[in-house]
Structure 1
Amino acid sequence: SWLLQVGPEGYIVLPSAGTLEVAGRTLADVRLDVLHRLSALFRGVNIDVRLGRPRTFRIYLTGQVKAPGALQVTGSPRVSDILNSAALQDNASRRHIQVVHPDGSRELTDVERFVRIGDQSMNPWLRDGDVLQVPVANEFVWAEGAFGRPGQIELGLNDSLLTLFRLAGDPLPAAEVGNVLMLHWKDPFKPDSTWLRLDDVYRGTTNPPLRDGDRIYVYYIPQYHLQHEATVVGEVERPGTYPIAEGRNRISDLVKAAHGFLPTADLTSIRVHRLNPGAGEKDPELDRLLRLSRDQLTASEYVKLTTKLSSLREDYRIDWARLQESPKDLDLLLKDGDVVRVERLVPSIRIDGEVRHPGILTFQRGLRIQDYVQQAGGFTDRAWASRIRVTRVVTGQTLPARNVRALDPGDFVWIPERPDKTAWDDSREILTALAQVATVLIAIKSVK
C-alpha cells in the first residue's frame, strides 16, 4: 500500500503514473480516476483508494469571538463550521464576516444566510493561513406577525424584502396576502409606511431594498383554521376532547357526543372548569384585602373581598336532574377550553372531630346529621354541638349545620371542640346578666 500526500498545489504523485490533481474534488471522483490510471499498469490486482488522514492547517480568529487567536483545523471546513453560535459573542455580526486570505484577497461571509435558508454562496471554504474578522452587528430589520420565525434580523449586504421573508421563515399559511405593512425610515426620525401584497413580493414586481430599522408587518387572517374544543372526563362512555361551536353547543351536546353517562356517574355534581381571563392579572386591591384579618376588614371591604374572590372562580357545578327540568336556563353554553368533569358517585359521608368513632359512614338518603353522629358513637364530652359544620362536596362551601337541609353523598361533617371557659369568662357572663336585670328594674321604676 502507498500513503500519498496531497502537495501544497493540490496534486498527488501516483507511482509509475505521474501526477493527479485532487484539490477541490470528492474522494469518489478521485478514486475513479486513480483506478483508471493504475488498472492499466497493475493487471489482476485489486486496487482501492481511501482517505488515510485529513489534512490539518491553521487559521486565525479576530473580532467578536469568544476565543480570538490561532486555531488548528482539520479537513476542509467552511466558515460556518468554525463560527457557530458557541464561538461568537452576543453582539457579533453573523452576516458581515470577512475572510482575509494569505494572498490579501477578501471574501464576505454570511453565516446567518446559510444557517437560516441553507445558502452556501457566502459560506466559503477555508484555506491555510486565513484570517476571520468578525465585526459588531449594528444594523437590523424586523419581521413581525405571521412569519415562521418572526423577530429581529441583522441587515445583510444588498438585502431586499424577499431576502427578509426568506430569513424570517416565510409568511405562514395564515398570513393575509393583501395586508402587508412596510415601515421604511426616510430619515432618522420620520418613518414612511407602505401597504404591499405578498404575491407581488414573490413575483418580484415589488421587492424594495431594505435599510437599517425597516419593519415589516404581516397580519393574520382572523380566526384562520380556528376550532373551538371542550373536554369531558370522568364517568362518561367516551371521555375526550370534542369540537364545539361557541354560542351554539351546550353541556348536553357534549354529553351526547361522549355517548352519555356511565351508571356510576354522580349526576348531582357535574363540574365545569372554565379559565378566567382575569385570573392571572395582578390586583393590588385584592392583595391588600387578603393581607387583612377578618376583624380588620370593614363591612364594605369584606363584601368587596368576597365579590372579587367569586369573580376569580373557575369551577361551576351542574345538577343534571335540575338541568333536565329547566334546560333553557341551566344547559350551559360551552366555551373554548371548557373541561367538564363527571365524578364517580361516592355513597358515603365522612364525619370527624369530637365524636367517639370518627370515620367514613355509608350514605343513606333521608338521614339527618344527628343520625350519623349516633352511628359514629355519639358526641364526646368536649363536643360543641351547636357549632357543627358541613363541607359540601358539590360546592366546597363550609356551612353551619343548621343551614343544611339535607346531606349529599361525599359531604364532610365536622364537630368542633368546645373551648375552655376561664373564671373571667364566667364572671363576665354573670356581670352581663346582672347589668341586664338592673336595666330592666330601672326601666320599670321609670314607667311607674
Structure 2
Amino acid sequence: MIKNVIYILILITGWRIVSAQSPLDQLREDNSDVTRIVPGVGLSDLKNSIGLNIPTSLSVPVDENSYVVDSGDQFVIKVDRKGPAIKLYPSTVTPDGIVTLPDAPSVFVRGKRLKDVKKMLKNHLKRLYPDATVEVYLNGIHPINVEITGYTPVRGSINVQSSDRLNTVPALIYNQLQSIDDTLGIWRKISRRRLELRRQGQDHMYDLLRYELLGDSTQNPYLQHGDVIRFYAANTLYSRIQITGAVYEPNSFEFRRGDKLGDMLQFSGGLQPAADSGRIELARFNRQTSMFNRIVLTYPEDKDFALQADDRIYARFKKEYHQKREVWVAGAVEYPGLYPIHEGQSTLSEILKQAGGLLDNADLTSAQLLRTRLYKTDKEYQRLAQSNIQFLNEIEKSYLRISTRQLPFVVNVDFEALLTKHDTGADVLLVDKDRIVIPRKNRSVVIKGAVEHPGVYSYMPGWNYEQYIEHAGGYAPRAKNFSVKIIKHASGNWLDAGNDIPVEENDVIFVPQRDDFNWYELIKDGIPIAAQIATVILLFNRR
C-alpha cells in the first residue's frame, strides 16, 4: 500500500528516478538544442566532454565595458531554475545583428557594448523565468578586417579578431619587419603617439604610448570591422621632450600637441623621493634661435603646464637628501665594520665608542685615521706616477718619491692622547669614507735588505737599529751601511737611521745594497767616447 502511494506521488509531481549514470553521460543522451545540465557540472566540463556544438574562439578575456558586439559573436545563456536541472542555450549573433532566445522575443545587439547586451538578455529571460538565475557568457568572437595606411612599410588589409585592440596592429607590423636588417631603425621612425583610426566616417587620434606607459585603455580601443588605421612619421629630434634628473626613467619622448608637465613626469615613472618638487626647471627655446628661457615650476601645482616641442625638463634633487655617509672601523675594536656618521658632527672618539671600545691588545702607537677621499683627489701624484721617470725634473721626482713613501691621506691624530689621556683637543671630526685602523700589538720589527738574515724579529725595548742589524747576522757584503733607513710604521716616513732615532714596534729597518759594477758595460760605453775624443785631437793637431 505504501509503495503504491509513493509511486502515485512521483507521477503527480513529475519526479523521475535517474539511473546510476554519471552527470556527463546523462548530458550526452540529450541531443536537443536546449541542453540540460545536472548540478555540479561546469561550463568547461560541458565544452570538453559532451557532443554539443559550441565552437570556442575566445582565448583572451575581453573588457565588457568597451567590447562592441557584432555579427558572428557567440553567446552561451545559462538558466538555472528551481529543480534538479539547468538549461543551457547557445546562440550566435545573426548577420542582421540579432540574438534569438528560447520562448522569448529576439534581441537586436549589434553595435552595443557587451555589458549592455548581457543586461538586455538577462532582462528578457527574467520576464520569462522570474524565479530563475540567468547568466550570459561570451563564448566566441567574430573575425574582422581592418585597413592599414600611412607612414608604414606594411600597408593593406589584415584579418584580426574582434577581441584585438589597436596596439595589435603595430605588433603585427613589427613582426613582419623582422626580416629587414634595420628593423629598429624603421620602427623608431613610426609614431606611437599619433595613430589615426577612421571608423564610420569619423577620425579619432590615439596615443599608444600613454596606454603602454600609463595603462590608459581609452587610448587602445577594440578594433571593429572596416576600421582604417593611419600611421604617421615620428616627430624629429627637435620635436621631442627631454626629461632628466630626479625621475625614475630619464628619457626623451615624442612631442604631441596637448602634452603637459604632469604627462611627461608620469611617462618618466614619476618623481623620486629625492626630487625637489618645487624645483622643476624647464628650458624653452625662443622661436628659431638658440636662446632659451628658464622657467621654474612646482609639482603637482603646475602639472597642467602646457609643453612645447623641444622643451627640456630638469627635475632637481633635494640638497644632500638621504646621503649615506659612513666610516669603516677595522682592527682591535669590539665591533669592527661600517658606521653611519653625520659629516662634520660625528667625532673619532664617538665612533670608537659605538664600536664597543678598544681591545686589550690594541696598538695605539700604530693606529691611523685614513682620509681616503684625499688620496683620490691627489691628481698631481697620479699624473707623475703614470709618467715616464726619465722626463721628470728633480722636483717632480722628489715629490713622487716622498708621496710614495708617505701616506698623504693619513690624518694626524694622537690616539694615545685622545683615548688614554682623554684629551678632547685631540679629537677629530670625521668625513665620509674615512677608515679608522687600530692594529693589534704584535711586538715585532721588520729588517729588510742587505743583511745576512732579513725577516721579522721580536721587538726589544731600548734597542737601536745597529743592535737589530747585528741580531740579524750583520751587514751583507754589498750593504750600504751608511744609508740605512728606518721606516716608521705609524706615519710611513723614511728616516735616516741614527742612534737618536728610536726603533718602535712594527717599524721597518731597511739596509740598501750597492749595485754590481759591470766592467763590460763601462768599456762598451767608453770606447765610442774615447774614439770621438781622439778624432777631435787629431783634427786639432792638423791645424
Q: Give the TM-score, by structure 2 length.
A: 0.58
Match of 1:335 among 409, 431, 448: 431
Q: CA RMSD in A?
A: 5.1
Aligned equivalents of 1:73, 1:269: Cα separation in 2: 79
| Aligned positions of 1:101-120 closer than 5 A | 108-120=205-217
- Cα displacement string for residues 133-185 of structure 1 (whole angstroms, at most 9, x for unaligned residues): 36234221233444343443322242122222322333344444544444444
Q: Is the 8 A contact 2:243 2:264 kept in 1?
A: yes
Match of 1:200 among 287, 301, 321: 301
Flag the 1:312–1:349 CA change in 2: closer, same or farther, 3 A. closer
Aligned equivalents of 1:367, 1:145: Cα separation in 2: 63
Q: Is the 8 A contact 1:95 1:156 kept in 2?
A: no
Q: Is the 8 A contact 1:389 1:401 kept in 2?
A: yes
Flag the 1:174–1:408 CA change in 2: closer, same or farther, 3 A. same
- Cα displacement string for residues 423-442 of structure 1 (whole angstroms, at most 9, x for unaligned residues): 7999xxxxxxxxxxxxxxxx
Aligned to 2:74: 12
Q: Is the 8 A contact 1:59 1:72 kept in 2?
A: no
Aligned equivalents of 2:305, 2:282: Cα separation in 1: 10
Aligned equivalents of 2:369, 2:157: Cα separation in 1: 66
Aligned equivalents of 1:120, 1:169: Cα separation in 2: 18
Aligned to 1:133: 231
| Aligned positions of 1:30-69 closer than 5 A | none
| SS of alignment partner, residue 467 of structure 2 | helix
Q: How much does 1:11 deviate?
A: 2.0
Q: Is the 8 A contact 1:54 1:75 kept in 2?
A: yes
Aligned equivalents of 1:69, 1:278: Cα separation in 2: 67
| Aligned positions of 1:251-400 closer than 5 A | 251-276=348-373, 279=376, 287=383, 291-293=387-389, 297-302=392-397, 313-316=408-411, 318-324=413-419, 327=423, 330-400=426-496
Q: Which moved more, 1:416-425 or 1:364-373?
A: 416-425
Q: How much does 1:4 deviate?
A: 0.5
Match of 2:329 among 220, 223, 232: 232
Percent of residue pairs identical: 24
Aligned equivalents of 2:482, 2:354: Cα separation in 1: 48
Q: How much does 1:251 deviate?
A: 0.9
Does structure 1 residue 248 correspond to structure 2 residue 345?
yes
Aligned equivalents of 1:121, 1:276: Cα separation in 2: 54
Aligned to 1:162: 262
Match of 2:287 among 178, 184, 187: 187
Flag the 1:344–1:50 CA change in 2: closer, same or farther, 3 A. farther
Q: Is the 8 A contact 1:276 1:313 kept in 2?
A: no
Flag the 1:137–1:299 CA change in 2: closer, same or farther, 3 A. same
| SS of alignment partner, residue 262 of structure 1 | coil
| SS of alignment partner, residue 352 of structure 2 | helix
Aligned equivalents of 1:330, 1:12: Cα separation in 2: 87
| SS of alignment partner, residue 276 of structure 1 | helix
Aligned equivalents of 1:164, 1:13: Cα separation in 2: 43
Aligned equivalents of 2:480, 2:158: Cα separation in 1: 84
| SS of alignment partner, residue 357 of structure 2 | coil
Q: Is the 8 A contact 2:406 2:493 kept in 1?
A: no
- Cα displacement string for residues 171-208 of structure 1 (whole angstroms, at most 9, x for unaligned residues): 34444454444444452225444444334225xxxx23
Q: Which moved more, 1:255-264 or 1:68-77?
A: 68-77
Give the letter aligned to residue 331 of structure 2: G
Aligned equivalents of 2:377, 2:194: Cα separation in 1: 45
Q: Which moved more, 1:102-111 or 1:164-173?
A: 102-111
Flag the 1:385–1:82 CA change in 2: closer, same or farther, 3 A. farther
Aligned to 2:242: 142
Flag the 1:116–1:314 CA change in 2: closer, same or farther, 3 A. farther
Q: How much does 1:211 deviate?
A: 0.9
Q: How much does 1:120 deviate?
A: 2.6
Q: Is the 8 A contact 2:72 2:92 kept in 1?
A: no
Give the letter aligned to residue 135 of structure 1: A
Aligned to 1:442: none
| SS of alignment partner, residue 365 of structure 2 | strand
Q: How much does 1:304 deviate?
A: 5.9
- Cα displacement string for residues 37-72 of structure 1 (whole angstroms, at most 9, x for unaligned residues): xxx9xxxxxxxx99999999999798689x999999
Q: How much does 1:349 deviate?
A: 2.7
Aligned equivalents of 1:247, 1:54: Cα separation in 2: 72
| SS of alignment partner, residue 261 of structure 1 | coil
Aligned equivalents of 1:123, 1:64: Cα separation in 2: 19
Give the letter aligned to residue 384 of structure 1: K
Q: Is the 8 A contact 2:347 2:429 kept in 1?
A: yes
Flag the 1:375–1:320 CA change in 2: closer, same or farther, 3 A. same
| SS of alignment partner, residue 482 of structure 2 | helix
**Number of matched pairs:** 407
Aligned equivalents of 2:319, 2:332: Cα separation in 1: 37
Give the letter aligned to residue 197 of structure 1: T
Aligned to 1:436: none
Gaps of at least 5 residues in structure 2 are 1-49, 59-69, 77-87, 94-98, 100-108, 130-136, 176-182, 523-543
